[in-house]
């Protein structure tokens, strides 16, 4: 076994045997489940309950324009959010139990609104005071000319729950009632739903002029794969780099480092540690992802159904390159610290360099992934991994562009490992003190 | 049989010259003492040998060839600043050290157990390092430096923290390496250990080689100038005598430069002075050490490194 392999094996095993690693790895899914239940499911549950006990809306039609059959038909219909969710789900992951559960939840939250037709304004206001209706719409005489509507409610908040949905339902009732008898049925239906989501088709125009269908699911998958890789990269760096630094500081503090460096070069040590702890970090993420049932969720199903292998491969390469570069830089600078806290502070700067520029320019990059700024951030090794994942997600980046970014990243990885190994060598043998800037510059010149 | 040559090594840190044009040779079947006051440059020399630090100029050669990866794997090293992975089992730590030196997992574990047996601690194999006493940890680290049967052994203060019994054990281990044809480099401030173990020594001061050669020769050269004499006479008037100090009932006679005890004896006989006691003293290495360092501190500019017996410089 090579020495890098020996170090990698030890780092991996000593990390996964740590009690803190086991607690975090196995405990995180349970913690997240409980957390999701608290912040996500409980409000949803209460929404459903409140939705089911929602009072009807009173309607007084003094202008005589509302058709009772329209009110009755809409009272049975689901809201648009639930209907759209079902449409997308059927196209993306037909038959998935998890998807059905999610769309049912949405449909329950976005249930139908019941309207009751009342004879007069006074009667309606009395029922409002009694609390048997949640609000009252009055369509006054002269509505056709003025378009005026009177709304009566007991709540003062302009954001009172149900108001927006009730307004939407009233608009549909009025639109369909006005069209009834005056327009052919097919025109009436189209007026209600000018765009049918299930019949919406998108096409991609390639740079060579060719046109190809672009499926919604594929567009989602295009964004999902880079998104997942970007998330994994960040989490890998935040988790395994923490262990990496902890290990380096421990070896420095307990003086084992000098014995180790008598057997391996700083570069081999750095490389072995990166690989071993990277593997431990990936194992941790793998456990989290598996336990969370990610593989059966909506986004993963879409990603798997429309997996673009070229995109996947590029993202994987940017992930590995980004991890190697930032991980080595973090370790190199972390080794300069005289204690664990100082090392953490010194090393976190690289994560910020990786994340902040692409995060701040995310929207412009998505809008125009081949603009000079997007290209510059993509080709610069430190910001390249995340930027390229965002750019590749748009599907508009030419292959040569991605290859240039990969070459730049590879050069960055090479230089950062060389530089980090030099800093590593300098920092590891300085017990209890930090090297001066002049010493650091000198060491880097000789790297 | 291999010879290790440190050839014209130089290393600077900013404005400080840590090692300045140092050349010496370590031969097979010898324990070589690397001596010098704190901060003299000994650790820098050792770190250059094990390739933790690169020299600015000069080279280290084994049998005339630069040290490569395979040769460095044949070095066993016990640093002055040392420690173990506190929360890990002793057997795992030793096996890891062995594997880093190129042993396969099975051999590394077997050798680790064998060495724990040799240092009289087989029962600690599965104990965590932080449960051991300081002396026990020290012995485990010595085992870690030797378990891959190195050709070159470098030990920096190996006796620090050991009780007399374990000191004997470590001395025996070092002598055994010498008997088996190994090169042993011992860096220590414990001069009695140097007198007892070392065949040849090199002394570094302010990065320069100030003493180098066979220990007995160095001692003889420095020790010849002092004679303990029991005689009822005024010895200060003798031409070979620099000064006389009382030492109990005897006289401690310090001879002039170049004078030998036999010259004093001849004079005493010539002048028919009755002699009760005549003893040419062997100067303790510690005194040689202190005298050399003090004489250099008093000198404004350091002299060029002396080339003495056994230090022929290679081009």
Listed by start position, the domains of chain A span 51-197, 214-445
Q: Residue A119 above 80 pLDDT?
A: yes
Per-residue confidence at A96, pLDDT binned at 50, 70, 90?
Answer: low
Nearest Cα of chain B lies from the Cα of A430 at a distance, in angstroms, of 11
Contacts of B108 in chain A (CB under 8 A): none
Residue B304, pLDDT score: 42
Query: Which residues on B lie below 8 Å from A439 (Cβ)?
Result: 13-14
Mean pLDDT of chain A: 77
User: Edge to edge, what strands does the sheet with B241-247 contain?
Assistant: B241-247, B250-255, B226-231, B275-280
Q: How far does the CA of residue B58 sit from the closest CA of chain A (Å)?
A: 17
B84 and A3 within 8 Å at the Cβ level: the answer is no
Q: What is the DSSP letter of A338?
A: S
B310 — pLDDT class (breaks 50, 70, 90): very low
The alpha carbon of residue B164 is apart from the nearest alpha carbon of chain A, in Å, by 25
Write phi, then psi, for B180 (nearest 5 degrees). Answer: -85, 10
pLDDT of residue B307: 38
Collapsing DSSP to helix, strand or coil, A164 comes out as helix
* Closest Cβ–Cβ partner in A7, A262, A438 for B77: A262
Cα angle vertex A309, ends A305, A314, to 5°?
A: 130
Q: Could you tell me how many helices (H) and strands (E) chain A has, helices first?
A: 21, 6
Is a pLDDT exceeding 60 seen at residue A438? yes
Residues of chain A found within 8 Å of residue B81, distances taken between Cβ atoms: 255, 258, 431
E strand or H helix at A76, and its extent? none
Instruction: Phi first, then psi: give them for residue B138, nearest 5 degrees.
Output: -60, -45
Q: Tell me whether B50 touches chain A (CB under 8 Å).
A: yes
Distance between CA atoms of residues B88 and A404, nearest Å? 45
Cα dihedral B295, B296, B297, B302 sign: positive
pLDDT of residue B94: 95
Q: In 3D, which of A206, A275, A231 has the Cα closest to residue A417?
A: A275
The per-residue pLDDT for B269 is 92
Mean pLDDT of A301-305: 58
Average pLDDT over residues B44-73: 88
Decide which of A349 and A111 is more confident. Answer: A349
The maximal CA–CA distance of chain A, rounded, in angstroms, is 95
Are the Cβ atoms of B82 and A439 closer than 8 angstroms? no
Pick from B184, B92, B96: nearest CA to B148: B96
Q: Which residue has the tokens 């891959």?
A: B148
Provide the 3-class DSSP secondary structure of residue B187: strand
Query: How much is the pLDDT for A400?
Result: 93
Which is more confident, A35 or A184?
A184
Would you state the pLDDT for residue A445? 66
* pLDDT at res. B148: 93
pLDDT at A254 over 80: no
What percentage of chain B's residues is helix, strand, coil (to nearest 5)? 35, 30, 35
What are the pLDDT digits (tens) for A160-177? 556 677 888 888 888 888
Chain B residue closest in CA terms to A447: B54
* CA–CA distance, B79 with A439 (Å, rounded to integer): 23
Q: Which of A167, A110, A158 is nearest to A136 (CA)?
A: A167
φ and ψ of B21, to 5 deg: 55, 55
Chain B hits for A1, Cβ within 8 Å: 99, 104-105
Cα B127-B130-B136 angle, rounded to 5 deg: 75
| Residue showing tokens 């590593």 | A424
Better-scored residue on pLDDT, A293 or B186? B186
Model confidence pLDDT, tens digit, residues B208-238: 998 898 888 887 777 557 889 999 888 988 9
**Coil/strand/helix, residue B12:** strand
Q: In this predicted structure, what is the pLDDT of residue B278?
A: 93
Residues in chain B closer than 8 A to A259 (CB atoms): 77, 79, 82, 97, 141, 144-145
- Residue B25 has a pLDDT of 93
Chain A residues in contact with B74 by the CB 8 A cut-off are: none
Residues of B in contact with A254 (CB under 8 A): 83-86
Residues of chain B with C-beta less than 8 angstroms from the C-beta of A429: 47, 52-53
CA distances from A54 to A77, A110, A136, A165, A410 (A): 15, 12, 14, 12, 60
Tell me the average pLDDT across B19-42. Answer: 91
Sort A233 into a burial class: Cβ within 10 Å, 0-12 / 13-18 / 19+: buried
pLDDT over threshold 80, residue B12: yes
Q: Which residue from B133, B305, B302, B118 is spatially nearest to B209, judged by alpha carbons?
A: B305
* pLDDT at residue number B286: 76
Percent of chain A having pLDDT more than 90?
A: 10
pLDDT at A157 over 60: no
Q: Which CB contacts under 8 angstroms, 24+ apart, belong to A164-167?
A: A165/A79, A165/A110, A165/A113, A166/A57, A166/A113, A166/A134, A166/A135, A166/A137
pLDDT of residue B71: 84
CA distances from B251 to B133, B227, B247 (A): 48, 8, 6
Q: What is the spatial distance between Cα B159 and Cα B192, in angstroms, rounded to a whole number?
A: 11
Does the distance separating the beta carbons of A254 and B86 come in below 8 Å?
yes
Better-predicted residue by pLDDT, A109 or A391: A391
Chain B: closest CA distance from residue A41 (Å): 43
* pLDDT at position A249: 78
CB contact B12 to A (< 8 Å): no
Residues 6+ apart with CB under 8 A from A416: A324, A325, A328, A329, A332, A381
Nearest residue in A to B71, CA atom = A263
% of residues, chain A, pLDDT over 70: 72
CB–CB contacts below 8 A, A to B: 65
Residues of A in contact with B73 (CB under 8 A): 263
Which band of pLDDT confidence, cut at 50, 70 and 90, is reported for residue A444? Answer: low
Query: Do B84 and A254 make contact, defined as CB atoms within 8 angstroms?
Result: yes
- pLDDT band, very low/low/confident/very high, at A324 (cuts 50, 70, 90): confident
**What are residue A213's DSSP bridge partners?**
A203
Which residues does chain B have within 8 Å of residue A422's beta carbon, measured at their own beta carbons? none
Q: What is the ipTM of this complex?
A: 0.77
- Minimum Cα–Cα distance from B44: chain A residue: A429
Q: How far is CA A291 from the centre of its chain?
A: 18
CB A313, CB A230: distance < 8 Å? no
How is B239-269 classified by DSSP, letter by letter? TTEEEEEEETTEEEEEEPTT--HHHHHHHHH
As a whole number of angstroms, the distance between CA B2 and CA B17 comes to 30
Name the residue in chain A with its Cα closest to that of B48. A262
Partner residue facing A3 (CB), from B53, B85, B100:
B100
Interface check B148 vs A, CB under 8 A: no
Beta-carbon separation of B100 and A264 below 8 A: yes
**Cβ contact A261–B54 (<8 Å):** no
User: What Å distances lie between residue B76 and A318, B46, B101, CA to CA?
Assistant: 41, 12, 9
Extract the tokens encoding B230. Answer: 């029991």
Residue B291 has, within 13 A of its CA and on its CB side, a CA count of 11
- Whether residue B50 and residue A438 make contact (CB cut-off 8 A), yes or no, is no
Number of residues assigned to chain A: 447
Model confidence band, residue B305 (pLDDT cutoffs 50, 70, 90) = very low
Residues of A within an 8 Å Cβ radius of B:
1, 3, 6-7, 10, 14, 250-251, 253-256, 258-265, 425, 429, 431, 438-439, 442, 446
Q: How far apart are CA A322 and CA A409, in angstroms?
A: 8
Q: Which of A84-88, A190-194, A385-389, B306-310 has the highest mean pLDDT?
A: A385-389
CA distance, residue B225 to nearest chain A CA (Å)? 43
Mean pLDDT of A21-44: 73
**pLDDT tens digits for A44-56?**
666 656 555 568 8
Alpha-carbon span A357 to A388, nearest angstrom? 12
Q: Closest-CA residue in chain B for A3?
A: B100
In eight-state DSSP terms, residue B181 is T
Complete edge-to-edge strand list for the sheet that includes strand A135-139: A115-117, A57-61, A135-139, A150-153
C-alpha A186: how far from chain center: 40
* DSSP tally for chain B: helices H, then strands E: 10, 14
Which of A129-138, A193-202, A236-245, A425-434 reaches the highest mean pLDDT?
A: A129-138
Greatest C-alpha distance within chain B = 76
> B234 or A83: whose pLDDT is higher?
B234
Q: How confident is the model at residue B296 (pLDDT cuts 50, 70, 90)?
A: low
B60, B69, B99, B146: best to mutate for the A interface, most A CBs within 10 A: B99
Q: Which of A231, A284, A235 is nearest to A26 (CA)?
A: A284
Residue A288 has which token pair? Answer: 């989290």
Task: Check B85 against A260: CB less than 8 A apart.
Answer: no
Please report residues of B whose CB lies closer than 8 A to that of A253. 83
B22 sits in which H/E element: strand B16-26
Residue A168: which of A81, A227, A249, A108 has the closest Cα?
A: A81
Judge contact between A137 and A130, C-beta under 8 A.
Answer: no
Q: Beta A115-117 vs A57-61: how paired, if at all? A: parallel
B250 and A CB contact within 8 Å: no
Say yes or no for a CB contact (<8 Å) between A255 and B52: no
% of chain B surpassing 70 pLDDT:
92
B276 part of contact set with chain A, CB < 8 Å: no
Least confident window among A417-431, B88-102, B209-223, B272-286: A417-431
Residues making up chain B, counted from first to last:
315
Residue A156: what are its φ and ψ, rounded to 5°? -90, -20
A chain contacts of residue B50, beta-carbon cutoff 8 Å:
261-262
Torsions phi, psi for A384 (to 5 deg): -55, -50
Whether B99 and A6 lie within 8 Å, measured CB to CB: yes
Q: State the alpha helices, DSSP H only, in chain B.
A: 42-49, 69-72, 90-100, 105-118, 134-146, 164-179, 191-197, 215-223, 261-270, 285-298
Which residue from B minimizes the CA distance to A254?
B83
**Which of B72, B82, B100 shows the shortest C-beta gap to A6?**
B100
Tokens representing A72?
A: 């009755």
Q: Determine which of B48, B54, B78, B79 to mutate to test the interface with A (most A C-beta atoms within 10 Å).
A: B79
At residue A441, does pLDDT exceed 80?
no
Q: How far is A7 from chain B (nearest CA, A)?
A: 8
- Closest residue on chain B to A9 (Cα): B96
Rounded Cα–Cα distance for residues A312 and A392 (Å): 10
Question: Is the model's pLDDT at B308 over the cut of 50?
Answer: no
Residue of B nearest to A430 (CA): B81
- What per-residue confidence (pLDDT) applies to A282? 77
| A335-A337-A342-A346 Cα dihedral, nearest 10 degrees | -60
Q: Which residues of chain B make contact with A262, given a CB cutoff of 8 A?
A: 50-52, 72, 75, 77, 79
Long-range contacts of A203-208 (CB under 8 A, 24+ apart): A204/A395, A207/A398
Q: What is the DSSP letter of A133?
A: S
Residue B86's pLDDT is what?
85
Beta-strand pair B16-26/B4-13 = antiparallel
């Amino acid at each position: 076994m090579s020495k890098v392999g020996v170090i990698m094996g030890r780092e991996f095993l000593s990390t996964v045997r740590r009690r803190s690693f086991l607690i975090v790895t196995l405990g995180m899914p349970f913690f997240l489940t409980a957390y999701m239940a608290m912040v996500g499911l409980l409000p949803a549950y209460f929404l459903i309950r409140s939705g089911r006990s929602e009072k009807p809306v009173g309607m007084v039609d003094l202008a005589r324009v509302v058709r009772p059959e329209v009110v009755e038909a809409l009272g049975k219909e689901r809201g648009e959010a639930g209907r759209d969710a079902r449409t997308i789900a059927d196209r993306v992951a037909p038959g998935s139990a998890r998807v059905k559960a999610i769309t049912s939840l949405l449909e329950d939250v976005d249930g139908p609104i019941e309207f009751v037709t009342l004879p007069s304004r006074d009667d309606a206001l009395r029922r409002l005071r009694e609390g048997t209706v949640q609000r009252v719409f009055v369509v006054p005489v002269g509505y056709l000319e003025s378009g005026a509507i009177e709304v009566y409610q007991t709540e003062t908040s302009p954001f009172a729950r149900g108001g927006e949905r009730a307004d939407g339902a009233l608009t549909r009732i009025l639109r369909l009632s006005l069209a009834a008898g005056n327009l052919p049925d097919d025109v009436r239906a189209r007026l209600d739903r000018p765009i049918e989501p299930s019949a919406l088709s998108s096409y991609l125009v390639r740079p060579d002029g060719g046109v190809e269908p672009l499926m919604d699911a594929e567009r989602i998958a295009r964004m999902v794969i880079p998104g997942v890789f970007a998330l994994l990269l960040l989490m890998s760096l935040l988790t395994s780099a923490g262990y990496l630094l902890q290990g380096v500081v421990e070896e420095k503090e307990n003086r084992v480092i000098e014995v180790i460096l008598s057997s391996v070069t700083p570069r081999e040590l750095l490389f072995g540690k990166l690989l071993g702890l990277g593997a431990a970090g990936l194992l941790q993420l793998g456990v989290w992802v598996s336990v969370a049932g990610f593989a059966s969720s909506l986004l993963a199903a879409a990603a798997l159904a429309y997996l673009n292998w070229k995109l996947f491969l590029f993202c994987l390469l940017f992930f590995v390159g980004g991890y190697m570069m930032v991980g080595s830089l973090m370790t190199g600078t972390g080794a300069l610290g005289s204690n664990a806290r100082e090392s953490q502070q010194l090393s976190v700067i690289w994560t910020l360099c990786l994340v902040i520029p692409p995060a701040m320019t995310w929207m412009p990059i998505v809008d125009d992934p081949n603009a000079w700024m997007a290209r510059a951030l993509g080709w610069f090794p430190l910001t390249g991994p995340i930027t390229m994942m965002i750019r590749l997600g748009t599907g508009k980046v030419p292959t040569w562009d991605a290859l240039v970014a990969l070459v730049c990243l590879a050069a960055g990885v090479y230089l950062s490992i060389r530089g980090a190994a030099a800093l590593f060598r300098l920092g590891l043998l300085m017990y209890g003190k930090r090297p001066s800037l002049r010493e650091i510059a000198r060491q880097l010149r000789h790297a | 049989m291999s010879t290790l040559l440190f050839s014209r090594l130089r290393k600077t840190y900013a404005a400080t010259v840590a090692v300045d044009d140092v050349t010496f040779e370590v031969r097979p079947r010898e324990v070589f003492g690397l001596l010098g006051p704190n901060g003299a440059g000994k650790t820098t020399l050792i770190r250059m040998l094990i390739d933790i630090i690169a020299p600015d100029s000069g080279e280290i050669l084994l049998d005339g060839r630069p040290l490569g990866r395979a040769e460095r794997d044949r070095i066993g090293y016990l640093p002055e600043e040392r420690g173990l992975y506190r929360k890990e089992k002793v057997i795992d730590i030793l096996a890891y050290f062995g594997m880093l030196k190129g042993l396969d997992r099975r051999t590394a574990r077997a050798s680790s157990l064998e060495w724990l047996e040799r240092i009289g601690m087989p029962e600690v194999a599965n104990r965590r390092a932080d449960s051991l006493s300081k002396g026990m940890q020290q012995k485990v680290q010595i085992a870690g430096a030797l378990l891959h049967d190195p050709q070159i052994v470098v030990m920096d203060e190996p006796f620090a923290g050991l009780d007399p019994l374990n000191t004997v054990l470590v001395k025996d281990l070092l002598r055994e390496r010498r008997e088996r044809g190994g090169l042993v480099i011992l860096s220590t401030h414990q001069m009695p250990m140097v007198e007892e173990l070392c065949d040849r020594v090199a002394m570094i001061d302010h990065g320069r080689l100030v003493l180098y050669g066979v220990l007995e020769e160095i001692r003889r050269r420095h020790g010849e100038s002092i004679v303990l004499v029991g005689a009822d006479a005024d010895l200060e008037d003798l031409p070979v005598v620099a000064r006389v100090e009382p030492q109990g009932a005897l006289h401690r006679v310090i001879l002039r430069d170049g004078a030998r005890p036999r010259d004093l004896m001849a004079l005493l006989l010539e002048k028919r002075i009755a002699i009760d006691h005549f003893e040419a003293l062997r100067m303790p290495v510690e005194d040689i050490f202190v005298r050399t360092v003090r004489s250099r501190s008093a000198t404004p500019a350091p002299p060029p490194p002396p080339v003495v017996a056994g230090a022929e410089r290679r081009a």
